Amino acid sequence: MSTNTVKIIGLQELQAKLEELPQNVARRILRVTVRRVGEQLRADMEDMAPKKTGFLAEHYNVKVSLKNGALAATAYIGPASGVYYNGVTYHKGIKVATGKHPTKGGALPVMSVARFQTFGTTRIKPNDFEKRAFEEWKDWGLEQIIQEIQDELEKAKR
């Protein structure tokens, strides 16, 4: 839910090598590398997500966006869009409904479930598992992105 950013600065040599390649090859390298490393962060977030029903952990994804006209990529890692939690559950034999209709229940977007977990509610303590996962991942992830881009550049030279 919170936005965490890693900006890679001071890698002019790597950037120059990418710019020497045809644009479609360089963009493919960025897309593949950022997705592959982002998948590891997604997996870490899933591991740290609350597991009462497992719904939240099952609905995280990675979307990679490339900036037009530049060799820059962004990975959006978080709750999937268009996925809804069934609004009616049973707790100790009592019907508990969520969403728009408190008695009938309603669809609750996974984004809302993640928000409730991250910031808490009157009944749920805050659990910022996304930020903890990112903090544990960021140093390794940065090194991994650099290494994988270098590996992909070596493959592209062949």
Would you say residue 53 lies in a domain?
Answer: yes
Q: Which amino acid is at 26?
A: A
For residue 55, CA distances in Å to 2, 28, 85, 117 come to 20, 32, 7, 12
pLDDT tens string 4-20: 666 666 578 888 888 88
Count Cβ neighbours within 10 Å for each residue of 44-65 and write b for 16 or more, e otherwise. Answer: bbbebbbeeeebbbebbebebe
Full residue range of the structural domain in which residue 142 is found? 12-80+128-157
Would you say residue 62 lies in a domain?
Answer: yes
What's the pLDDT at 113?
A: 81
Would you say residue 111 lies in a domain?
Answer: no
Would you say residue 67 lies in a domain?
Answer: yes
Would you say residue 102 lies in a domain?
Answer: no
Rg (alpha carbons) of the chain, rounded to whole number: 20
Would you say residue 103 lies in a domain?
Answer: no
Number of domains the chain is built from: 1
Would you say residue 86 lies in a domain?
Answer: no
Would you say residue 151 lies in a domain?
Answer: yes
CA 87 – CA 70 distance, rounded (Å): 43
pLDDT tens string 113-145: 888 888 888 888 898 888 899 999 988 988 898
pLDDT tens string 21-79: 888 898 999 999 999 999 999 999 888 888 877 778 888 889 999 988 788 888 899 88
